Structure formats: structure tokens, C-alpha cells
Amino acid sequence: LLKEFKDEDWNMGDIVYTLTNRRYLEKCIAYAESHDQALVGDKSLAFWLMDAEMYTNMSVLTPFTPVIDRGIQLHKMIRLITHGLGGEGYLNFMGNEFGHPEWLDFPRRGNNESYHYARRQFHLTDDDLLRYKFLNNFDRDMNRLEERCGWLAAPQAYVSEKHEGNKIIAFERAGLLFIFNFHPSKSYTDYRVGTALPGKFKIVLDSDAAEYGGHQRLDHSTDFFSEAFEHNGRPYSLLVYIPSRVALILQNMDLLN
């Protein structure tokens, strides 16, 4: 997908099908990046997204370039949709949690037995002047939320929307409402999203938050109330502002009470 298609040509149905195409009740491990992808000759997920700009434009002291902005936002979205929709377990290949910039290459005759790329640079997340910390913060909070809500152990998600024109994917799992806007430029005001239950919803994870390197376009104090208005096969629905290239998780607060 990253290698062969422009962002505006991504197929939402294909993404959902790929992540949910498994035998009923057969547990699967999902991952956004594997060992094979990061070996020499290929690239890590972050490197496919941002390539050589990772060496020069990851400083928080410089403005976002279009490449780095796109890469950081999509890296978060790809990990979350894989985590939420892909299976009953999630595998984080080492370094993927913070967008490791380089490939792996073990000592061999072809590289003069070098250990230079046989490494993961975990120190990158500790540097407050680099943007790797944002990707790592998102991974930390995504996993903490899963630990609290348990969507990996929940039944397979119900996908209520995969809109090709709007580039929106919405699904419910473990009482949470996941919403993804993969459109590179379009944001949607009062976008109707279906849900199974009535109640008051609040944002519990927002890839656009400042601590994740986002653009802070959402107000986390907003309450979203579902109404008895059938939409996409769900008996209730609510209206949500969904900025471009953003992933959201809403939680029904009434269920907590």
C-alpha cells in the first residue's frame, strides 16, 4: 500500500478486509511491521513513510515538513487500526513503537562483518528535541488504553463504515468506537457515525493530540451524545468532528457508570 498507491487511492475496503480476513474464532497476532520488513534491502515502516528526511527533519526546533507531518500522522493511524482490528494479540517489532529510522543488517561478508546496523537506537525516544518521543508516547497510551479496556480479548470488531470517497473507517470493539480519517486533506464537521448503544461519549485517545505530535484540532472536553437515529446498520449514531489524517477512540461514559 505504501509502496504502490498514493494516499488518495488507498482502498478502505481492502484495508478492513486484510485486517479481518481470518477464520472464525481463530486467534491471530497482528503487526504493522515485522523482522523481514526491517532487514537490509527493505525499510522500516517509518522509513517507508519519511525516508531520508528522518535524518534531517525530526527536530522539534524545525517546522513540520509535509513528509514528516504525513509520516508521523500515518504511523500512528496504521499502528492503531492494526491493534484495534487486526486480531487478538499485537506484536510490536522492536523500534516500531517510536518509528525507528533504519533497517537491520547483521554481520556478514557483504558488509565486512559490520555491526553498525545490527542495532536499535532506543536512545532516540529520550531526546526531548526529537519527534520520536511523540510516536513513543502514542504507543504507550494506546497499549495502556487496551490494557484498561481489553479490546484484544473482546469479540471481533463490528465495522459500520468503510467509505471510499471520504476515506473514513469506523468500527466498534469492547464498547469503544474507533474512527479513522485517512483522507490527506479533508476534515469533516458533524460527521455521522453509527453506534450500537445510546449514551454520552468522550474522546479517550486522539492521535492529533500535542503529546503525540498532532495538530490539536480536537477539544477533549467535548461530550458526544448518541441519538436514536439509525445509521450504517447501527440503531444509534452521533455527530463527530473528524480532522484529516486522524484516528480517534470514543468511549461510552454511561457504560462506565
The pLDDT tens digits for 118-159 are: 788 899 999 999 999 999 999 999 999 999 999 999 999 999
* Last residue of one domain, picked from the residues 149, 166, 187: 149
Range in 48-62, 112-126, 185-199 the model is least confident about: 112-126
Question: 50: exposed, middle or buried (C-beta count within 10 Å: 0-12, 13-18, 19+)?
Answer: buried
Query: Is pLDDT above 80 for 25?
Result: yes
How far, in Å, CA of 209 to CA of 232, rounded? Answer: 28
How many structural domains does the chain have?
Answer: 2
Give the residue numbers spanning the domain of 54.
8-149
* Last residue of one domain, picked from the residues 149, 178, 206: 149
* Last residue of one domain, picked from the residues 108, 127, 149: 149
> Do 122 and 225 sit in the same domain of this protein?
no
> Do 77 and 113 sit in the same domain of this protein?
yes
Length of the chain: 257
> Do 52 and 111 sit in the same domain of this protein?
yes
Cβ count within 10 A of residue 76? 28
Per the domain annotation, does 3 fall within a domain? no
Contact in structure between 247 and 168 (CB atoms under 8 Å):
no
Crossing angle for the helix pair 66-85 and 132-149, to the nearest 10 degrees:
20
**pLDDT value, residue 2:** 75
Question: 117: exposed, middle or buried (C-beta count within 10 Å: 0-12, 13-18, 19+)?
Answer: middle
> Do 140 and 201 sit in the same domain of this protein?
no
Q: Which residue has the higher pLDDT, 117 or 90?
A: 90
pLDDT category at 36 given cuts 50, 70, 90 is low
Is the pTM higher than 0.75?
Answer: yes
